[in-house]
Structure 1
Amino acid sequence: MTGHPVVAWQGADEADRPLVVLLHGRGADERGIIGIADDLPFAPTYAAVRAPIAEGGGYAWFANRGVGRPVADSLAETMAWFHAWLDDVAPGRRPVVLVGFSGGAAFAGGLLLSDPARFAGAAILHGTLPFDAGVPVTANRLAGTPVFVAHGDTDTVIPAELLSRTWTYLHGDSGATVHGRRDPGGHTLSDDTVAELADWIGELTDPTTKR
């Protein structure tokens, strides 16, 4: 896996602006998720990254051994590829926030768990953390790290036991500073969830600048 990813950008890519990286779901691409940037705060730069593995007319972040269950070696390879790109576009102290949906949520979770100090926070949207996939899921692993987690109460895509385990770990043993949202819908981002996400990103990146 070589070369930089295809990226859709929104906002000026300036080194002094926080970078919010948007990670799409399995079988989708960067063009779908970049649209939510229209409803998010103006202060950051937004980068929607295309996953590297072609699948189902779109792209995936890792090989699966079941829905929501990454193959450890595949996840590690893709995370290394992602970090090579990130270190180029956001070196030094530039704040980086991850926002992942579905399969992108599992990828964002893997990145955060593997190197919590690298990121200013992460949003895990309608997805699971990558349990049993080679990244640490230990007590206080995310101590003090801001995390936004949103689940749909009628989600039938991600296995219920993985959603429950994710919710419980983030609100408990992880030690993260969590903003949790339970949406009455299924496996999709509602307007209300995006509005709460916008407020969370605004408070995290620039408390004085929100939509």
Structure 2
Amino acid sequence: MSAAPVVATAGSTDPDAPLVVLLHGRGSHEREIIGLAEHLPDGPAYAAVRAPIAEGGGYAWFANRGIGRPVAESLRTTMDWFRGWLDEVAKPGRPVVLIGFSGGAAFAGGLLLDDPDRYAGAAILYGTLPFDAGVPATAGRLTGVPVLVAQGDHDTVIPRELLDRTWNYLNDESGASVTARRDPVGHGIAAAALQALAGWLPNR
């Protein structure tokens, strides 16, 4: 996993502009999630990264023990690979915000929990944090970090136990500065949640 990732970009080309990294779901790809940038603020640079593991006609961020339950060694390998890329494109001082959907949300959560000081914020959309996968999810771990979490009341893809655990950890234990919403949708980004994400981003 030494090759640089495939990346789709949008928005600013200024190397000092805030970098918003879009992380797609399992079985998807970078060209799908880059479409979110059309609905997000002007100003940042947007980069949608293709996950490194081929799966189901698309790509995945890690091997699973079950839906929403990453294999720790696999998650560590891909996080280290991702950080190698990120450290090349975002030098110290450049704000980096992670936006992850579904499997990409678990990956974004893993990156954030692994190194909270590296990121200016993260959006965990319709996914779980990677509990019991080798990254610390201790009380106060994300103190002061801006986090947006969005979930669907009718999501039947991510186990409800993991959605609830993520919701409770972020809101009650993590110490993060949380913007949280649940909408009456399934496993997909609600229009109101996308509007909330667009409003949340400029404050990073």
TM more than 0.5: yes
The gaps in structure 1 that reach 5 residues or longer are 205-211
CA distance in 2, matches of 1:15, 1:58: 29
CA distance in 2, matches of 1:202, 1:120: 11
Asked if 1 retains the 8 angstrom alpha-carbon contact of 2:12 and 2:42, the reply is no
- Residues 38-87 of structure 1, C-alpha deviations (whole Å, 9 max, x = no match): 01000100000000000000000000000000000000000000000000
TM-score by length of 1: 0.96
The residue matched to 2:200 in structure 1 has which SS?
Answer: helix
4+ residue segments displaced more than 2 Å: none
CA distance in 1, matches of 2:13, 2:143: 30
2:195 maps to 1:195: yes
Aligned ranges 1:136-147 → 2 under 5 Å: 136-147=136-147
CA distance in 2, matches of 1:175, 1:9: 32
**Residue of structure 2 in register with 1:111 after alignment:** 111
The residue matched to 2:151 in structure 1 has which SS?
Answer: strand
2:45 maps to 1:45: yes
- Residues 149-183 of structure 1, C-alpha deviations (whole Å, 9 max, x = no match): 00000000000000000000000110000000101
Letter in 2 for 1:133: A
Q: Identity of aligned pairs, percent?
A: 68
The residue matched to 1:175 in structure 2 has which SS?
Answer: coil
Asked if 1 retains the 8 angstrom alpha-carbon contact of 2:11 and 2:37, the reply is no
CA distance in 1, matches of 2:183, 2:13: 32
The gaps in structure 2 that reach 5 residues or longer are none
**Residue of structure 2 in register with 1:207 after alignment:** none
**How many residues in Structure 1 have an aligned counterpart in Structure 2?**
204
**Residue of structure 1 in register with 2:75 after alignment:** 75
Instruction: Give the root-mean-square deviation of aligned CA atoms.
Output: 0.6
CA distance in 1, matches of 2:126, 2:146: 17
The residue matched to 1:192 in structure 2 has which SS?
Answer: helix
2:88 maps to 1:93: no
Deviates more, 1:187-196 or 1:80-89: 187-196
- Residues 100-143 of structure 1, C-alpha deviations (whole Å, 9 max, x = no match): 00000000000000000000000000000000000000010000
The higher-RCO structure (CA 8 Å, 6+ apart) is 1
TM-score by length of 2: 0.99
CA distance in 1, matches of 2:15, 2:144: 25
